[in-house]
Chain A
Amino acid sequence: MFRRILLTIIILSSIALGSGCWDARDIADRSVVILAAVDLSQEGGTQFGKPVRYEGTILLPNLNPDTEEKVRIEKVSGVSISGSRDQRAYINPEIIMTRMIQVYLFGESLCISGIAPVMDSLLRNPVLSNSLHLAMTEGQSGDLLTAEPSDFPDLGLYVTDLLQKVNNKSFFPVVTLHDFAIHSTSPGRNPVLPILKEDAGEVRISGMGIFRKDRLIGRVGLDESRPLALLRGAQSMAYIPFIMTRDGEETDRGTVFVGNHRKVRVERQGNQFTFNITIILKGELIEHERSDVLTRDRQSLPKIEEQIAADIESECQSFIERMQGEFKVDCIDISKYALAKWRSELENTIDEGFIEKVNINVDVKVHIRNTGDLL
């Protein structure tokens, strides 16, 4: 009898405690963060006698159906980025859940001064996934959070989708917290970040920020993002338009939809390093304006391939010149191949004055898989 009573007590207490019913909380009592932004404080001031340095802004979708606003935006400032969370106690009574953060944005001034202190706060937090997406903004990132995309439930979902799927339609890298952390701390590597800006109430990608380790040192627009992504080997599927000419006259124009792949070989003669980058583009011709049948002329498709290859090669060479002359940092992620061969010799010096002196050759190979004619 005693054993039965004991067993009943154990089963009942297990059901009550194990199910978590005793500690149940309504989902509406929680604030789920999906988008966060960090900036250097513009207003300054002191907290606990110490100068305020950071501003943290979070976007929280309202889970309570009775509220009017779709989202809540909270801005706090603090001496350190994690320390600023203390200020949220005074403006938000709910439990703030950061586990679902999908995107972190960094303001321009913070990027220039260096993101490493903020990265430390993010990487140290075990509830944050290192696969969350990163981007920087033109100006203060907190200001961008007030934009309201009309056709998305909230800005958080819109920006997440935008950054996550940008490489489905364009040559553009998708950057996660993990990528940035690894590229900003590994010898010979440097990260890039997408730049977001608000334009007439719409948030859009406007280019890419070039970093030397954790500091922003330059930026490129959308036109140069393509060669940067291709040289960097950021895998994407994208549209490339082309124009065919003969004797200076335009004969055809069209578009291919291709995926990219990169191969890098490095050679050395004494202290002169030569990188040979091969960019392989494979895909389909999806548009050409001239009405002739391409399958009748066996030279047509190869000519289109050659034209695209020449265009991309030219873009890449221009970008490499700018990288070696202006940025002076390996933002195309090729130094690692030299390290793979001569790691112990180059490891300590590869980040200073290496990429400027190397020879970089680019060869683009385009392979159009379809006939180019209507089906």
Chain B
Amino acid sequence: MTSKQLGFLIMGTLVGVNFLTIPRTASEAAGQDAWIAVLVGALLPLLVLVLIERLGRRFPEMDFIQMSQYLFGKIGGSVLVIILSLHMIIVVAREIARFAFLESIFLLPLTPIWAISLLILLVSLYVAGQGAQVVARINELLFYLLLPAFFLIVYPLITAADHTYLLPVGGSGILSIARSSFDVSLYYGRMEFLMVAYFMVTHKDEVLKAGLIAWGAVTVPYMLFTAACLMVFGPENLQEQITPVLAMFTSVSYPLLERMDMLFLVAWSVAFRPVFNLLCMSGYSLTRLLNLQERRHYLMLLTVAGTAAYLFSLIPTSIVELIIYSGWQGYTHPVVGLGYPLLYLLAAKMREGRTQNV
């Protein structure tokens, strides 16, 4: 794929249901400074991006599986590939559950969760089954389709926002901002998928630039929506909302289309991009690991990965369980996101040193 397509893939993977909930998490400790926490928290995926890019430069001719086995041996490398694939499958499960619960609460209250999850899975399998390039193109298409939705923020800002909720800037204290920044950084997880996707790009020298643009395109809307939610609800009331971004749209009556929140939700709920992006990456990794070349093998492994994710997604039986489950699962992002490239870079350095000694 091209570096531009990788950019869209990054945006699609980072932005999921968490986009609707991030203002609440960010304001929990940082209060009126939640928007600063969102900016600081975004440094984690930036660091992951830079580390993976540095790593990838060292092995431009390899893919993730070859690099793993080259650095850690056949068994060690395979174990690392399997762990990353499993990690992505669990993230997919979480995303399926999040989308399903969201749709169940707001759009399809009478439809069982398992049916909504199944629908999400089937569509995602179909998309992921077309291969990484098609997945990237669909991300691009969905980006442009969802772009107008971001401008909906203007109306609540004009009619319901109160700037005093953002003041005094920095008043919550550095420690509070730091705590919220860490919580927020977990929301930006999933950048670790670049460990696989980086090697699919043809012009690798453009990856950093494309990644930075994508990172900015994710961070700026996150920050703007957090600031807007703060101005509409205030830091205290923000804690009452599970999905503050949606609540913000219900708080004002848009001219012509009064229930804009429903329209936004319909648009948003079909965009389960992280699900098919990560399914594609995990399916690809497993197929390459098993040294299978045919498309039907990829589809078969994709179905296995998807079914596993689907079954995992059914474990939380309520939104509360899902929030707890997601909270714990979120901690794996910095561990995997930073741990993998650092481990690989360390191994690469050691191997380099050994080669020079010889």
Where the two chains meet, the residues of A that have a C-beta atom closer than 8 Å to any C-beta of B are: 99, 123, 126, 128-131, 176, 178, 181-182, 185-187, 336-337, 339-344
Contacts and interface: CB of A to CB of B under 8 A. Distances in A.
Given A337-B164, A343-B32, A343-B167, A185 B251 contact: no
Contact of A126 (B106, B160, B165, B234): B106
B20 to A, nearest CB: 13
B352 interface: no
A131 B237 contact: no
B167 A129 contact: no
Given A129-B258, A340-B168, A343-B168, A182 B234 contact: yes
A336 B258 CA distance: 29
Interface residues of B, number: 26
B259 interface: yes
Contact of A336 (B164, B168, B259): B164
Nearest to B107: A126
B268 to A, nearest CB: 14
Contacts of B240: 123, 185
B124 to A, nearest CB: 18
A182 B31 CA distance: 15
B250 A131 contact: yes
B164 A340 contact: yes
Interface string B320-347: 0000000000000000000000000000
B233 interface: yes
B236 interface: yes
Contacts of B247: 130
B134 interface: no
A178 B240 CA distance: 13
B236 A185 contact: yes
B303 to A, nearest CB: 18
Given A178-B251, A341-B168, A185 B237 contact: yes
A344 B168 CA distance: 9
B162 A131 contact: no
A229 B207 CA distance: 56
Interface string B223-254: 00000000011101100100000010011110
B237 A126 contact: no
Interface in B161-209: 162, 164-165, 167-168, 171-172
Interface string B138-169: 00000000000000000000001010110110
Contacts of B217: none
A130 B250 contact: yes
B270 interface: no
B236 A186 contact: yes
15 contacts: A123-B240, A126-B105, A128-B250, A129-B250, A129-B261, A131-B253, A131-B258, A178-B232, A182-B234, A185-B240, A186-B234, A187-B236, A341-B168, A343-B171, A344-B171
